[in-house]
Structure 1
Amino acid sequence: MKAKRILCVVLCTALLIATAIHVRGSTKLTVDNRNPYEQPILIRATYYTSDEGAITYSGQKVRTGIIAGKKDWQGSVALLYTYKMVGGEPIPVELIGIYEVLDTGAGIDTDGDGKGDSIINGQSIDIYQPTMHQAEEWIDEYGDYVMMMLVEGEG
């Protein structure tokens, strides 16, 4: 299973590089109309902490390396990248890490109804951090937005 995951990551990285070259000539990048399984998307990154032993949507205990995302993305591997703007378009630059989408949630209120919906709609992800201090350090280093590409995987 590890060999499949490594192969998946290698193939996705190659696809990401090819996509980054393609994105430079494309029109405005938006989260809503792109498929993160086909090309990287710019996505809002928020953070959550939880009591030790808390259980995720997938039934696993929370731990570093888990993110909450849209229900359709559950079980996928998320490659998170820093980005830079080139010609008004975000381009992936450096791999931040490999995360598993094993949790879900509501997210930030984007439509003004007082209820979170950004994770539900695939407009943001929530990255688990063991402490608020670690979440603040992550924000200081990477900011509020990252580029994400999803890979379906097992193991």
Structure 2
Amino acid sequence: MHLLSLWTATLTAAIVFLAGSWERIFRMPHWFADPPHSFSLIAPQTKQSARFWIPLQLLFLLSFITALVTNWSQPQVRPYLLLALVSFLLVTIPTATYFVKEIIAFSKMTPDTPCTPELLRRSSRWIRWTTSRNVLQFISLILLIWALFNRYH
């Protein structure tokens, strides 16, 4: 069970990182190309994204917790899992408290919403900080790969 959970957490983390990077590179530039006009692209994709991201995040969380519990007694693996947990929390907490609320607010703006300097700053900040989420997802993935590698050695 300890190896299966570690493999599952690692593979799921890889999917999270790849899907998040794909969205950041290919979808989000269109969302923020011409605020607020381009914000109309967000709403149609929100439900589809939720159907993908929520189960994926739950699978990752369950497999990660299982990997943490079943590998806790392995001193060569535990530090990597704890650091991956910190990285995961550094993504999850801001996502729940900031990113989701902002993207919902952007998606509800009509094309005739004034394009103020503040709106441009908000959208620029959202994109910049979402890139940091991709970096943290990558760090989590690397830490899980190291944990897996150290589990075998």
TM-score scaled to structure 2, two decimals?
0.28
The structure whose residues are more often helix, as a share, is 2
**More strand per residue: 1 or 2?**
1
Higher RCO (C-alpha under 8 Å, 6+ residues apart): 2
The structure having more radius of gyration, on CA atoms, is 2
